[in-house]
Amino acid sequence: MNSTIIPCLRYTHALEAIDFLCTAFGFERQAVYTNAEDPGIVDHAQLTYGGGMIMLGSVRDDTAFSRHMVQPDEVGGRETQCACVIVKDVRAHYDKARNAGATIVDEYEEKEYGGAGYSARDPQGHLWYFGSYDPWASPSG
């Protein structure tokens, strides 16, 4: 099943962010559309992870949608939401992200409700949660 809710993020340096997200967090490029007039601007990109997806683009203020968004560094690093990504081997994912330069916000931890997880920020301050708890899986017991 593919995801039906797709987080959308904006990055000041979107091409660098795409490289980081793929290297550190294991996303895969599905599509990257750069601006015809300025190839350093990402008009739209789609990155996948398993059956999930995120979309992203460059920070800009020339579209109606972009005017609704701010970057974490503009609001003291705070977020009102974060993407939660289900991963199979959280410990290996955590180690890979740390080694690739992700800022670990909450260390790897086994959760009382099942699974394990950790939180990290990417280089432009967006908050991510990676964990093995899968709310779609049948409850055991």
Q: Does the residue 86 lie in any domain?
A: yes
94: helix, coil or strand? helix
For residue 140, what pLDDT is reported? 58
Q: Does the residue 19 lie in any domain?
A: yes
CA-based max dimension of the chain:
57
For residue 97, what pLDDT is reported? 97
Q: How far apart are CA 86 and CA 19, in angstroms?
A: 20
Residue type for 99, please?
N
Q: Does the residue 1 lie in any domain?
A: no
Query: The domain containing residue 27 runs over which residues?
Result: 8-131
Residue type for 122, please?
D
For residue 62, what pLDDT is reported? 82
Please tell me the total count of domains within the chain: 1
Decide if pLDDT at 4 tops 80.
no
Decide if pLDDT at 2 tops 80.
no
pTM of this prediction? Answer: 0.87
Residue 86 has which token pair?
């289900």
Residue 120 sits in a domain of what CATH number?
3.10.180.10
For residue 19, what pLDDT is reported? 98
Task: Give the mean pLDDT of the chain.
Answer: 91
Decide if pLDDT at 81 tops 50.
yes
Q: Does the residue 139 lie in any domain?
A: no
Q: Does the residue 137 lie in any domain?
A: no
Give per-residue pLDDT as tens, 106-127.
999 998 878 899 999 999 999 9
Q: Does the residue 77 lie in any domain?
A: yes
